[in-house]
Amino acid sequence: MENRWGLDFFLLTVVLILLTVGVVMVYSASHFIAEKKFDTPHFFLLRQVVWSVIALGAILVLSRIDYRLYRRIALPLLVFGFLLLVLVLFSRPIKGAYRWISFKGFQFQPSEFFKFVLAVYLAHSLAKRAGKLENWRYLLIPYAPILLLAFVLIMKEPDLGTFMTIAVMTFLGLFVVGARLKHLAFVTLPVVALAAILVFGLGYKKTRVLDYSRSFHDPTLGSYQVKQATLALGSGGLFGRGLGEGRQKMFYLPEPHTDFIFASIGEEGGFVGLVLLLFAFLVLIWRGWMIAARAPDVFGFLLAFILTASIFVAVVLNLAVVTGLVPTTGIPLPFLSYGGSSLLVTALAIGVLLNIAAQTKLFEAARAGKERRSFFA
């Protein structure tokens, strides 16, 4: 469904619903913390509203930019993304991590932006190599160094969750253009080995991973956050405690408005609220991949597919963390978690998807016109 401006009305409606739910739930989950830390319950709400307005602006702007332009700037964008990953390592650490560049009270996370630029570069590069990736050299030589360099820089921050998203979306992009699974496994083995060395050899998050594995045998071990999130999800019942009535956000559940906002939604909205939320995400992912399937060229298909995959992977990883299926990694829930970086980068992806949908409509209309002229010739 498209409106008179050529935008995909269906996709835009789902995005607006998720943004609205995000603003409401950020306020509901954060006002106790904001009142204690900043003497106003609206501290996080106001910032989330600002970021949401900026995100909507970005969506509208990018929906008007021909997506084929990105082919010409794919490599410069990738280089710029790497430069930001280097620059953030010289920034001031926040909670012991070098993940954010601060500017006048706002913080930006370069690793989130890198997901977008890598998606553009992968779409551009894979479009040229489509059909050739059965040869392992076309797979190993261009993409393994990019993944390894991204791994080193992002893990220096450190930000395992974002790199996991990048790795999986790259894997899916390579797979969809015909790369063999055995070749993909060969490329990913060095990255897995490096991750194992970081965790068990150099001690990065070693305790967190070991506690997670032991928690299956000893319930007293495991992440405190996950335990509190599980309590929140369980106490929500079928219909939830009601908007604003959650208890775990009262300084029991850490980060109830950021990475663990799904637990806050489950407590206040219940099972029904979570099902509706997951349905909205499924519709968004389905629509993104439908846009990819209808794209007028290989680049458009790959760009839409990989951008949608990045959102899909982020949602799955966030839910897996909150429900205790994987160790805590620090993955925001797209559109809903408090913070500008993830929201803005997701908005960039949506804007590009909307333009691909609009360009597809123009392409199909032009093709239909040619067919009609040919019929009457």
| 245 within domain boundaries | yes
Q: What pLDDT does residue 281 have? A: 97
Q: Which two tokens stand for residue 109?
A: 């996370």
| 3 within domain boundaries | no
| 2 within domain boundaries | no
- How many domains would you assign to the chain? 1
Of 21-35, 50-64, 361-375, the one with minimum mean pLDDT is: 361-375
Helix axes 224-235, 298-322, angle to 10 degrees: 90
| 97 within domain boundaries | yes
- pLDDT tens digits for 41-60? 999 999 999 999 999 999 99
pTM recorded for the entire structure: 0.89
Domain span at residue 356 reads: 9-376
| 167 within domain boundaries | yes
How many other CB atoms sit within 10 Å of the CB of residue 369?
Answer: 10
| 1 within domain boundaries | no
| 185 within domain boundaries | yes
Q: What pLDDT does residue 293 have? A: 95
The pLDDT-based confidence of 76 (bands split at 50, 70, 90) is very high
- Of the candidates 226, 253, 257, the one whose C-alpha atom is nearest the C-alpha of residue 320 is 226
Residue type, 29: A
| 290 within domain boundaries | yes
CB neighbour burial string for 166-185, b if at least 16 within 10 angstroms, e if fewer: bbbbbbbbbebbebeeebbe
Would the pLDDT of 374 be above 50?
A: no
Q: What pLDDT does residue 145 have? A: 85
Q: By the 8 A CB rule, do 38 and 105 touch?
A: no
Mean pLDDT, residues 217-231 taken together? 71
More confident residue, 376 or 132: 132
- pLDDT tens digits for 294-322? 999 999 999 999 999 999 999 999 999 99
Q: What pLDDT does residue 376 have? A: 40
Average pLDDT, the chain: 84
Would the pLDDT of 244 be above 90?
A: no
The pLDDT-based confidence of 353 (bands split at 50, 70, 90) is very high
